[in-house]
């Protein structure tokens, strides 16, 4: 996942943004295009400023490493 900021176009009541734009100018052009197609609706260009991720580690002990392995 990229660590660079990106932009999305959002319309209140219009669903979640699904397209990431790498450049503000591109997102602005998309917002303009959408607003022309949807008169009276508001479109906002939003910039992602932070990313947070929760990662958990699950550790299941299968054997005690201090005890020698049982040969079979």
Q: Given pLDDT bands bounded at 50, 70 and 90, which one contains residue 43?
A: very high
Q: What is the number of other CB atoms lying within 10 angstroms of the CB of residue 22?
A: 12
Q: Give 28: exposed, middle or buried? Use CB within 10 Å, 0-12, 13-18, 19+.
A: middle
Residue with tokens 């490493």: 65
Chain centroid, CA 12 distance in Å: 19
pTM above 0.85, yes or no: no
Share of the chain above pLDDT 70, in %: 92
Structure tokens at 68: 């020698």
The yes-or-no verdict on residue 2 having pLDDT over 70 is no
The larger pLDDT score, comparing residue 69 to residue 60, is at 60
């Amino acid at each position: 996942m990229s660590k660079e900021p990106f932009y999305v176009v959002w319309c209140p009541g219009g669903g979640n943004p699904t397209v990431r734009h790498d450049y503000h100018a591109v997102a602005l052009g998309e917002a303009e295009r959408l607003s022309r197609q949807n008169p009276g609706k508001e479109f906002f260009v939003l910039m992602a400023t932070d990313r947070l991720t929760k990662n958990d580690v699950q550790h299941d002990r299968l054997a005690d490493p201090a005890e020698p392995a049982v040969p079979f």
